[in-house]
Amino acid sequence: MTETVRLIAFPGAPNLPIFAARENGFFEDRGIDLELTTTPNSVYQIEKLAAGDFDLAATAFDNIVAYQEGQGAVSLEGDPDLFVFMGATQIELSLVVTPDIASFDGLKGRSLALDALATGFAFVLYRMLENAGLTLDDVTMIPVGATPDRWKSVEDGSHAGTLTIEPFTAMARGKGFGVLESSLETVDHYQGGIFAAKRGWAGENADLLKGFIAAYLDGLAWVLDPANLDPATEILTRNMPAIKPAAASKVMAKVLSPETGLTPLAAINPDGMATVLELRSAYGPAGTDLHDADKYLDLSFYRDALRT
């Protein structure tokens, strides 16, 4: 007998361990019927998670920080009660731009597409612009949504650029779009993707949460095993048919690299979390000064799952 766990995630190649765990029966082995939904944007994702419409979220670490600090794109009633229970990816964010733009100066007077203006990966883009000598007054930031919609808005010329993850970066390069900068050049460490839940739900469903973590870790280990490269690639392209065969190997290389993709054992990167807090302190609301990443974490469920 299985119990349903409802997960909402951003679309992207980092979902590969979830795809693999489902298709290999790892969730079922742990008594879980996983319902995976992809989100159109971070606002929808966090609102629905906080409301209890979903049990878990695969999201950006900064989203949890923002909403717990009352700095999210929308106001939530009461304490969102959100916490991070496991890592996922370091993530390489690439500033993809239209083919006519050769440098950061070409962005002046143009619009850039974001998921939301002050959560998620927005602050990485702000740091890129600052390092290039631009200010936020030089460009117009437009909230568009998750990566597929942002990439489409750049592809069709509605906006000059956006931050992408794989496979969208490879898709953009394949169509002649440029990359002005990678987040690997912008910051030394960055905690990108994490898994989050409400503390109340986790407390009432501890065994279910630990079962999810164990199944995900099984899927992650399977994906990271070099012997499974071909079947893992097939699972990814079948679940994300927009990835063309010519780009599949490049996408897999990025996803399998601990610097640009999946984190071994889904571990948290303390230096990467410190970077997220530093960026929010620099570009968030005036007076923001964040240093303690532990207030957003509870790794006890993760540690228990590791022991199994």
Domain boundary among the residues 151, 169, 186 is at: 186
Question: In this structure, are 198 and 296 located in the same domain?
Answer: yes
The answer to whether 107 and 162 have CB atoms below 8 angstroms apart is no
Number of domains into which the chain is organized: 2
pLDDT value at residue 247: 92
Cα separation, 140 vs 248, in Å, equals: 33
Tell me which of 3-7, 8-12, 89-93 is least confident: 89-93
Q: Which domain holds residue 61?
A: 3-91+190-307
Residue 167: cis peptide before it, omega within 30 degrees of 0: yes
With cut-offs at 50, 70 and 90, classify the pLDDT of residue 76: very high
Give, rounded to a whole angstrom, the gap between the first and last alpha carbons of the chain.
20
Sheet holding 161-164, edge to edge: 140-143, 111-114, 161-164, 94-97, 178-182
pLDDT digits (tens, 9 = 90+) for 130-154: 999 999 999 999 999 999 999 999 9
Last residue of a domain, one of 171, 186, 201: 186
Same domain assignment for residues 218 and 291: yes
Name the H helices within 156-258. Answer: 168-174, 183-186, 199-204, 206-224, 229-239, 245-256
Instruction: Answer whether residue 111 shows pLDDT above 90.
Output: yes
Please report, as a single letter, which amino acid is at residue 135. T
Q: What's the pTM?
A: 0.94
Residue where a domain terminates, one of 135, 166, 186: 186
Q: Is 215 in the same domain as 288?
A: yes
Phi, psi of 221 (to 5 degrees): -60, -40
CATH number for position 203? 3.40.190.10
Q: What integer is the mean pLDDT of 261-276?
A: 96
Q: Say if residue 17 is in the same domain as residue 37.
A: yes
* Rounded Cα–Cα distance for residues 73 and 12 (Å): 22
Instruction: Flag the least confident range among 51-60, 101-110, 244-253.
Output: 244-253
177 and 213 assigned to the same domain: no
Mark whether 51 and 99 lie in a shared domain: no
Confidence label for 239 from pLDDT (cuts 50, 70 and 90): very high
Residue 120: pLDDT band (50, 70, 90) is confident
Phi-psi category of 114—alpha, beta or left, where left has phi over 0 and alpha has psi -120 to 50? beta
Q: Are residues 286 and 202 in the same domain?
A: yes
